[in-house]
Amino acid sequence: MAGRRGLSAINLTFLGTASAQPSLTRNHSALALRLNSDVWLFDCGEATQHQIQKSTVRMGKIEKIFITHTHGDHIFGLLPLLASMMNGAGGTANGIEDPRAHGVQDSSDPIEIYGPLGTRAYIRNGLKYTHTLLGAPYVVHELRLPSDPPDGDYTSLALHASESPNGRNILQTNGVWSDVYHDAIVSVSAAPILHSVPCVGYVVTEAPVPGKMDPAKYKPHLKRTNTPMSVMSRLQQGESIELSDGIILQGPPRRPGRKLVILGDTYDPSPIAELALSADLLIHEATNAHLPVLDSNTKAEDTFESVEERTKSRGHSTPQMAGAFAAQIGARQLVLNHFSARYPGNDHVDPTAKTIMEAIARLAGEHYSGTITCARDFMSFDVKEHV
Ligand SMILES: [Zn+2]
Ligand SMILES: [Zn+2]
């Protein structure tokens, strides 16, 4: 992230909010995080590139892709997206080598992809057997569990021509993957969360930001001692300045940066709880809910308990479970995501969407008193700075 001197805008755009099956109103999982103008993608379900085309997210600005787990509804869109982003091609008819086969020799920084074991094999095998050439390099860093085989990565294929050999296998320390990426402005850590297959939750943390400055507090001192007003920018950064009369001015203390917790599918995210503490924003799945009057698919024998038990047994959460976790970590804001195809996501297409989403938010609110929002496709908002 060289050249990005400081963050002011953090924007989230939901590109897909469906669980197992997409619907008319919800595409498979993908979320774009915009850090100023850079784009990081979290998951890349089928047709994510189509969703990007319909949104204000710019495909060419994607720098990193974080995969939560290798279930198809979170990764099936990755290969076509890479092919489009990186000027992919399918070879030449006359057998003359296509220069796009040599993406790894491209001088640009590789697109970085993070995910659990299997991510690298999925991409390498998929590119190989679809004869896909890429015009730019990529690299895959895998977040390895202690139970993963220490050697190998589920593929015996050699590196793809566009794959950088610098992909890391990142091991846990104290049960988490700390600082899998960091620069001066932002860092990413991760931890496993419990699902039916290995699954990862990501925590994106902004570095501490300059405190609020009250110029009136400093100006008289600067004038009195003929100190150039330009030192204000140093004070703003939290520095202390000694004036010619010996008085020391101390800039305002830095404030904590914003913290975003982006979870994949889960029936119990507790291994990430400590990393996620005091998040400004938690994105948590709520695949199924018990909505006896509103949801015509409700079975007569269903109860809250039976729906929760069934949801958990499939590796997923109810809104109440999401709300309870938001309360546990003291999150300021909760966004519910990854809904069953039976819950429509757009009022204009299905007039029941609003009523059902409000009911789902109320269920999460049984355990959580912060702001609750139900994600829908193309929902986009800025994460506010601390005041
Ligand atoms: Zn899923
Ligand atoms: Zn899943």
| HSE value, Cβ hemisphere, 13 Å, CA-based, for 96 | 2
pLDDT of residue 107: 66
In this prediction, residue 151 has a pLDDT band, given cuts at 50, 70 and 90, of confident
**Terminal-residue alpha carbon distance, the chain:** 26
Q: Per the structure block, which two tokens stand in for 220?
A: 């008289």
Residue 116's alpha-carbon distances to 43, 82, 168, 190, 192, in angstroms, are: 12, 18, 11, 11, 9
pLDDT of residue 269: 98
Where is 74: in which H helix or E strand?
helix 72-75
pLDDT of residue 212: 86
Give the ligand with the smallest distance to the CA of 193.
Answer: 2
Contact 238, 251 (CB under 8 A): yes
Contact 366, 190 (CB under 8 A): no
CA gap 205, 311 in Å, rounded: 30
Residue 313 burial class via C-beta count within 10 angstroms: exposed 0-12, middle 13-18, buried 19 and up = exposed
**Which residue has tokens 């939560």?**
68
**Which residue has tokens 């988490």?**
176
Nearest to 13 by CA among 248, 262, 372: 262
Contact 149, 178 (CB under 8 A): no
Convert the pLDDT of each residue in 344-365 to its tens digit. 877 777 788 889 999 999 999 9
* Mean pLDDT (whole number) for 113-127: 97
Give the ligand with the smallest distance to the CA of 46.
Answer: 1
Nearest to 324 by CA among 268, 280, 247: 268
In this prediction, residue 127 has a pLDDT band, given cuts at 50, 70 and 90, of very high
Give the ligand with the smallest distance to the CA of 341.
Answer: 1
Contact 122, 75 (CB under 8 A): yes
In the reported structure, the alpha carbon of residue 25 is separated from the centroid of ligand 1 by a whole-number distance in angstroms of: 16
In the reported structure, the alpha carbon of residue 329 is separated from the centroid of ligand 1 by a whole-number distance in angstroms of: 23
Convert the pLDDT of each residue in 246-290 to its tens digit. 999 999 998 899 999 999 999 999 999 999 999 999 999 999 999
* Mean pLDDT (whole number) for 152-163: 89
In this prediction, residue 2 has a pLDDT band, given cuts at 50, 70 and 90, of very low
pTM of the model: 0.92
In the reported structure, the alpha carbon of residue 175 is separated from the centroid of ligand 1 by a whole-number distance in angstroms of: 23
In this prediction, residue 237 has a pLDDT band, given cuts at 50, 70 and 90, of confident
CA gap 271, 190 in Å, rounded: 10
Domains and CATH numbers, the chain: 10-90+101-208+256-382 (3.60.15.10), 215-250 (no CATH)
β-pairing verdict for 38-44 and 62-66: parallel
In the reported structure, the alpha carbon of residue 241 is separated from the centroid of ligand 2 by a whole-number distance in angstroms of: 54
Nearest to 188 by CA among 272, 265, 124: 272
* Mean pLDDT (whole number) for 290-295: 86
CA gap 212, 275 in Å, rounded: 26
Give the ligand with the smallest distance to the CA of 29.
Answer: 1
Using the predicted structure, report yes or no on whether residue 5 has a pLDDT greater than 60. no
In the reported structure, the alpha carbon of residue 264 is separated from the centroid of ligand 2 by a whole-number distance in angstroms of: 7
* Mean pLDDT (whole number) for 210-237: 91
Residue 195 burial class via C-beta count within 10 angstroms: exposed 0-12, middle 13-18, buried 19 and up = buried
Using the predicted structure, report yes or no on whether residue 91 has a pLDDT greater than 90. no
In the reported structure, the alpha carbon of residue 144 is separated from the centroid of ligand 1 by a whole-number distance in angstroms of: 20
Where is 330: in which H helix or E strand?
none
Most confident of 107-111, 112-116, 252-256: 112-116
* % of the chain residues with pLDDT over 90: 75
Q: Per the structure block, which two tokens stand in for 324?
A: 């309870």
For the ranges 87-91, 108-112, 288-292, the lowest mean pLDDT is seen at 87-91
Using the predicted structure, report yes or no on whether residue 226 has a pLDDT greater than 50. yes
The residues annotated as belonging to the active site are: 73
